Amino acid sequence: MTSILSAYDMDFTTLRARVSEMGGLVEEQFADCLEAAQRRDLVLAAEIVARDQGIDQREVEIEELAVRTLALRQPLAQDLRETIAALKIAATLERIGDLAKNIAKRTSLIHSRSDSNGVASILRLGHQVRGQLADALDAYGTRDIHGAEGVWRRDIEVDELHNSIFHVLIANMSSEPRFVSEGAQLLFVAKNLERIGDHTTFIAEMTYYVAVGRSFGNDRPKGDPLFPLPNIDTIV
């Protein structure tokens, strides 16, 4: 009986460990994409793109383990939530990896010729989101519901900084036509960072769900939407 229980518990311990390992790889991928953008390091950017396949493989392995656990162990209550969360968090981490890869691909198109072009602000957004991701992964690993809630509530800071960057970039593109090409790339990067922030918040939500058995609810503070949009005809 003891060996059966040990094998049962081992499956969930392994599943949690695999998700945490994947989280560490994705966190490193994200940190490297910010460094590549800051230094305009094309070699590092290429390495990030190449490493993405390994992250994809980790998601496949976690999915296979989770499905096998569901089939063989037929978990209930918290163990079932643990398995479902592992599936969802792994898929979310894979998306974050893809977004980091996309940012790396744009490294060669970001010239960073001056602080006025918004690169510094975007890097600040990136480091803020990176901190959120680290906190969310730590909360998942320790089942820290207060830490998870803190990540969930701080998402408004990411939204507001993204909105501010968006409007500054649009203004710069309107007033300086030669900046339009790079500005468009920076808009894509800023949006990717905002989406990573959303995915990070979801990891926090799933952590809370595993530990408590319910969601946070719908009262999360949110930043103002990006409206009204500017007239694109004025951007020449």
Written as one letter, the residue type at 145 is: I
On the question of pLDDT at 27 being above 80, the answer is: yes
pLDDT band at residue 226 using 50, 70 and 90 as cut-offs: low
User: Which of 21, 60, 221 minimizes the C-alpha distance to 140?
Assistant: 21
Question: Is the model more confident about 189 or about 226?
Answer: 189
pLDDT band at residue 117 using 50, 70 and 90 as cut-offs: low
Percent of the chain with pLDDT over 90: 65
Span 129-137, average pLDDT: 97
On the question of pLDDT at 183 being above 90, the answer is: no
User: Which of 215, 226, 224 minimizes the C-alpha distance to 191?
Assistant: 226
On the question of pLDDT at 230 being above 50, the answer is: no
Tokens at residue 159, please?
């939204």
Three-state SS for the chain is: CHHHHHHHHHHHHHHHHHHHHHHHHHHHHHHHHHHHHHHCCHHHHHHHHHHHHHHHHHHHHHHHHHHHHHHHHCCCHHHHHHHHHHHHHHHHHHHHHHHHHHHHHCHHHCCCCCHHHCHHHHHHHHHHHHHHHHHHHHHHHHCCHHHHHHHHHHHHHHHHHHHHHHHHHHHHHHHCHHHHHHHHHHHHHHHHHHHHHHHHHHHHHHHHHHHHCCCCCCCCCCCCCCCCCCCHHHCC
Q: Which CATH entry fits the domain spanning 2-234: 3.50.50.60, 1.10.238.10, 3.30.565.10, 1.20.58.220?
A: 1.20.58.220
On the question of pLDDT at 113 being above 90, the answer is: no
Distance CA 46, CA 50 (A): 6
Query: What are the backbone dihedrals phi and psi of residue 22, each rounded to the nearest 5 degrees, phi first?
Result: -65, -40
Distance CA 89, CA 97 (A): 12
End-to-end CA distance of the chain: 74
- Give, to the nearest 10 degrees, the angle between helix 2-39 and helix 77-105: 20
pLDDT band at residue 232 using 50, 70 and 90 as cut-offs: very low
Span 117-143, average pLDDT: 93
Least confident of 94-103, 109-118, 192-201, 222-231: 222-231
Least confident of 72-76, 88-92, 145-149, 223-227: 223-227
Question: Is the model more confident about 114 or about 43?
Answer: 43
- pTM for the predicted model, two decimal places: 0.88
